[in-house]
Amino acid sequence: MPLLLKWKIALLLCLLLLIEGLQAGEPILPLPRSHHQPAPKVALGRRLFHDPRLSGNGSLSCASCHVLERGGDDNRPLPVAASSPYPHNTLTVFNVRFNFRYHWYGDIAGLREQAQRALRQDMKAKWPQLVARLEKDRNYAKQFAALYPDGIQRQNVLDALVAFELSLITPDSPFDRYLRGETEAMTPLQRQGYDRFKSYGCAACHQGVNIGGNLYQKLGVFRDFIDDDPGRFAVTDREQDRFVFRVPSLRNVAVTAPYFHHGKVPTLEKAVAIMGEYQLGIQLPKDDIEAIVAFLHALTGNYRGRSLEDK
């Protein structure tokens, strides 16, 4: 009997520790430092990503809209090649691997489908033409032959692009360093901003590794968001999905202006104020906006060893 009692106590202690550990957790997790993608594939994907020959008329590459030297987006309200009925602001390509669905509507399940759709709809690519163009390039032929037994094929082009996109991570932002225990990596104002971020409930939606990007939410809980874009209703036809969008990631948000799906909000201050107004139904105090914006600036990470802010 005493043995059983001891076991019970040990079990309870373990459970307590577990729960304590979980309760002490932050809603946001730091980005991993390495992407674990094979270097040759990433190199090939990078070439393809920057190659305008992938588009139908040879004028656009993936990098035309996803400028890696800036925030992985085009910093325009709407993309150059806007084709869908409700054109949306270009999302960043950085850290895409941590999103659970893609685009503002979240109607695309994988990076492969995303790449395929972007090539077809935005870049007007035609596969036979594209493959023929790539086959003319000896370097491509060599690179593909080294990686894929069947050489230049549609699925291999997509695979290389996806591998490159998986490698696009921006670790070691000041906030990530803070989360890893480096308290001084963020300024006091930024720390205060994080506190506000959590206490206003922003972290209810903007959580996880990517600080968002892993659920859908209605835009305009306390006030209707006046816009003709119906949100996910356009793809699901469910009344409850009206004005529902995929929650965007806040990583590198300071370098991916302008904001919102329509790209009409040029600054972070305005964006934070709009979120307070529509999601909480209040006018956020100026100090708190300032602190939260400061915190959002701490989310800018490094790509290939350099901070995105420097570029």
Partner 1 sequence: MNTAKLSQIFILVAIPLALLYHSAALEVTSAARVAAAIRSLQLHDTELNRDVLLVRTGSLLHYDSLNRAMAACRLALLEVQSHIHHPPLKPLISVLNGLLREKSQRLEDYKSRIALLRNSLSYFLKLQEALANQAGKSAIAADAVGAAMLRFIRHPHARHRQALEMHLRKLEALGRQPAITHLIAHSQLIIKVLPQLEENLNQLLAIPVDKIALKLENQHQSLLAGLEQRAGLFRLALFLAAAGFFIGLLVLQTRLYRSLQQLRRAQRHLQDEMQQRLAAEREKNRLERQVLQAQKMEALGTFASGIAHDFNNLLGALRGYGEMAEEDLAPGHPANQSLRQIQSIIAQGQTLVERLLNFARPQKSRHQPQDIAAIAQETLALLHPLIPPGIQVHLENRLPARARVPGDASQLQQMLMNLCQNAIHAMGKEGKLTITLQFTSPDTIEILVADNGCGIPPQHLPLIFEPFFSSRVKQGGTGLGLAMVDRIIRNHHGHIEVESRPGQGTTFRILLTVCSTAVSGNSLQKSETQ
Measured from the CB atom, the residue of 9 and 19 that comes closer to partner 1 is 19
Measured from the CB atom, the residue of 130 and 284 that comes closer to partner 1 is 284
Measured from the CB atom, the residue of 76 and 218 that comes closer to partner 1 is 218
Q: From the CB of 295, what's the least distance to partner 1, in Å?
A: 15
Q: From the CB of 122, what's the least distance to partner 1, in Å?
A: 26
Measured from the CB atom, the residue of 62 and 284 that comes closer to partner 1 is 284
Q: Work out whether 16 is an interface residue with partner 1 (CB under 8 A).
A: no
3-state secondary structure 81-107: CCCCCCCCCCCCCCCHHHCCCECCCCC
The pattern of x and - marking residues 187 through 226 that bind partner 1 according to CB under 8 A reads -----------xxxxxxxx-xxx----xxxxx--xx----
Measured from the CB atom, the residue of 214 and 302 that comes closer to partner 1 is 214
Selected from 16, 17, 19, 146, the binder of partner 1 by CB under 8 A is: 19
Measured from the CB atom, the residue of 247 and 257 that comes closer to partner 1 is 247
3-state helix, strand, coil in the chain (%, to 5): 50, 5, 45
The answer to whether residues 253 and 270 touch, using CB atoms and an 8 Å cutoff, is no
Q: Where are the beta strands (DSSP E) in 113-196?
A: none
Q: Give the range of 19-27, 33-41, 249-257, 266-274 binding partner 1 by CB under 8 A.
A: 19-27
Residue type, 173: S
CA 275 to CA 232: how far, in whole Å? 19
Q: Work out whether 240 is an interface residue with partner 1 (CB under 8 A).
A: yes
Residue type, 161: L
- Report the first-to-last Cα separation within the chain, whole angstroms: 68
**Number of residues binding to partner 1, judged by CB under 8 A:** 35
Selected from 26, 69, 135, 224, the binder of partner 1 by CB under 8 A is: 26
Structure tokens at 232: 């996910």
Selected from 67, 166, 280, 309, the binder of partner 1 by CB under 8 A is: 280
DSSP lists the bridge partners of residue 252 as: none
- Footprint on residues 89-108 left by partner 1 (CB under 8 A): 98, 100
CA 111 to CA 101: how far, in whole Å? 9
Q: From the CB of 102, what's the least distance to partner 1, in Å?
A: 13
- Provide Rg for the chain, Cα atoms: 22
Q: Is the peptide bond before 258 cis (omega within 30 degrees of 0)?
A: yes
Structure tokens at 131: 């493959």
The pattern of x and - marking residues 33 through 72 that bind partner 1 according to CB under 8 A reads ----------------------------------------
- Footprint on residues 66-85 left by partner 1 (CB under 8 A): none
Measured from the CB atom, the residue of 202 and 253 that comes closer to partner 1 is 202
Q: From the CB of 292, what's the least distance to partner 1, in Å?
A: 14
Measured from the CB atom, the residue of 216 and 233 that comes closer to partner 1 is 216
Q: Work out whether 244 is an interface residue with partner 1 (CB under 8 A).
A: yes
Structure tokens at 181: 């225990």
> Rounded to an integer, what is the distance from CA 18 to the centroid of its chain?
30
Which residues contact partner 1 by CB under 8 A? 19, 22-23, 25-29, 98, 100, 198-205, 207-209, 214-218, 221-222, 240, 244, 247, 279-282
